[in-house]
């Protein structure tokens, strides 16, 4: 009991220090972006998901169990890999070849080549996932290439504005390349603050579709929360379906399990590949309402009816308190039981949908 009280006091002190440091940085640092409620009030208020000055999930989430979270935080799980992940330096052709290929850049970042275009989902190539370095999650594994080495990107898709999904430096680099940006409602305020021309920015609500060149960008529902400076929910969290003339890809963003996955599957009948988050969940059900456990991630894949599942959002940032390899191991077990086609690429490995897409349990070989 005394040990529990001591841990609790330490955690409270750390939280207070973090709040104080963050409050100072929020005022000073441009990485915190714009002010959605001020800059885009009319756009946000027009959404059926926005009321009482914030966005809401279709299925309300439960309250977090603080006791379960403390128990989780005090566990003795091995939370960092014993060695760096193997890296493959991807090779990209110009012009972009036809077909469907996906390259995992770590965490939720996936560069997809679809029917002659390059779409980068949640590109995050920076070292830290928060401006306050003293408390920021730091990469456990680097991206397979630097920003300067990236090929030309046609479109960038952002699922929500948390720092591990929306990175100012990466966005500014891709903006200079000429990419178009597809984001949830309110997120455009951040991009404008960072210099992105509003003409290159498409803010979308759940159910919206925008045609860009030969691709259709469909903003679909997620069960999460968002807000750059707090948990204010002043920007919209999303998942996405991108359709080309011949192929279709789904990215889950951050989400808890809910009926929206089945609804997406009913709307889009031929999804070739799902990119679904499997990591960074907690013990209590309130946390799992907004971050799926791996078994629910596999069920989400089954609900949308995709042909191939690529698990993402694991092994790069320590954002929860499970063992570093628990998400991928549980995903593998659940996928085997459900008899689905699961691919587990190394960082930087490009998987060609038309090819055999051979992968392995490579993380088990880390020494």
Judge whether 351 and 357 are in contact, CB under 8 Å.
Answer: yes
Nearest Cα to Cα of residue 238 among 252, 257, 258: 252
Residue-level pLDDT at 365 = 96
- Per-residue pLDDT, 71: 74
Q: What is the pTM of this model?
A: 0.92
Count CB-CB contacts under 10 A for residue 194: 16
Contact predicate 72/291, CB 8 Å:
no
Cβ of 292: how many Cβ atoms within 10 Å? 28
For 98-163, give the DSSP string.
SSEEEEEEETTEEEEEETTEEEEES---SSBSSS-TTTS-B-SS--SS-GGG----SEEE-S--ST
Predicted pLDDT of residue 52: 92
Please tell me the distance from the alpha carbon of residue 284 to that of residue 69, in angstroms, as a whole number: 7
CA separation, residue 295 to residues 145, 256, 331, 333 (Å): 31, 11, 6, 9
**CB neighbour class for 330 (10 Å; exposed up to 12, middle 13-18, buried from 19):** buried
Candidates 181, 271, 290, 188; CA nearest to 231 is: 290
Supply angle C-alpha 270, 276, 279, rounded to 5.
Answer: 165
Domain edges within the chain = 100-355
Is 118 in contact with 152 (CB distance < 8 Å)?
yes
- Considering the domain 100-355 in this protein, what is its CATH number? 3.60.15.10
- Tell me which residue of 339, 365, 357, 296 sits closest to 85, measured CA to CA: 365
pLDDT of 72: 76
Per-residue model confidence (pLDDT) at position 23:
45
Burial 303-324 (b: 16+ CB within 10 A, else e): bbbbebbbbbbbbbbbbbbbeb
pLDDT at residue 134, as a whole number: 86
The answer to whether residues 268 and 138 touch, using CB atoms and an 8 Å cutoff, is: no
Q: What is the pLDDT along the chain (367 residues), one digit of tens a residue?
A: 444 444 455 555 555 555 544 444 444 689 999 999 888 888 899 999 999 999 999 999 888 887 777 777 777 889 999 999 999 999 999 999 899 999 999 999 999 999 999 999 999 999 999 998 888 999 999 999 999 999 999 999 999 999 999 999 999 999 999 999 999 999 999 999 999 999 999 999 999 999 999 999 999 999 999 999 878 899 999 999 999 999 999 999 999 999 999 999 999 999 999 999 999 999 899 999 999 999 999 999 999 999 999 999 999 999 998 999 999 999 999 999 999 999 999 999 999 999 999 999 999 999 8
Candidates 357, 359, 358; CA nearest to 99 is 357
Residue 270: Cβ-neighbour burial (10 angstroms; 0-12, 13-18, 19+): exposed
Q: Which two tokens stand for residue 196?
A: 């992105």
Residue pair 83/364 in contact by the 8 Å Cβ criterion = no
pLDDT of residue 8: 52
Residues 6+ apart with CB under 8 A from 108: 121, 122, 124, 159, 164, 165, 251, 253, 254, 275, 277, 312, 313
């Amino acid at each position: 009991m005394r040990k529990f009280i001591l841990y609790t006091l330490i955690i409270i002190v750390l939280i207070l220090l973090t709040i104080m440091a963050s409050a100072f940085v929020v005022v000073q640092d441009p990485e915190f972006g714009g002010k959605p409620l001020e800059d885009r009030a009319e756009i946000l208020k027009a959404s059926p998901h926005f009321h009482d000055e914030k966005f809401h999930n279709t299925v309300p989430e439960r309250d977090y169990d603080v006791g379960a979270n403390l128990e989780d935080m005090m566990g003795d799980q091995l939370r960092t890999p014993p060695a760096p992940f193997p890296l493959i330096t991807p090779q990209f052709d110009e012009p972009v070849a036809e077909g469907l290929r996906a390259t995992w850049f770590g965490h939720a970042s996936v560069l997809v080549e679809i029917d002659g275009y390059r779409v980068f989902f949640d590109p995050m190539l920076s070292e830290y996932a928060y401006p306050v370095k003293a408390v920021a999650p730091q990469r456990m594994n680097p991206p397979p290439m630097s920003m300067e080495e990236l090929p030309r990107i046609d479109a960038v898709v952002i699922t929500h504005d948390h720092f591990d999904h929306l990175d100012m430096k990466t966005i500014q680099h891709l903006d200079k390349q000429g990419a178009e940006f597809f984001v949830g409602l309110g997120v455009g305020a951040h991009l404008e603050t960072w210099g992105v021309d509003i003409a290159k920015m498409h803010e979308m609500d759940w159910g919206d579709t925008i045609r860009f060149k030969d691709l259709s960008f469909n903003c679909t529902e997620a069960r999460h929360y968002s807000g750059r400076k707090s948990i204010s929910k002043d920007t919209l969290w999303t998942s996405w379906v991108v359709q080309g003339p011949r192929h279709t890809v789904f990215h889950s963003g951050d989400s808890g399990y809910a009926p929206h996955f089945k609804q997406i599957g009913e709307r889009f009948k031929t999804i070739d590949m799902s990119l679904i988050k499997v990591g960074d969940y907690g013990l209590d059900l309130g946390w799992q309402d907004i971050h799926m456990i791996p078994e629910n991630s596999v069920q989400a894949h089954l609900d949308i009816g995709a042909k191939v599942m690529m698990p993402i959002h694991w092994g790069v940032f320590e954002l929860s308190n499970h063992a570093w390899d628990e998400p991928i191991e549980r995903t593998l077990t659940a996928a085997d039981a459900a008899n689905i086609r699961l691919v587990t690429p190394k960082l930087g490995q490009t998987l060609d949908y038309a090819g055999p897409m051979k992968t392995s349990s490579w993380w088990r070989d880390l020494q």
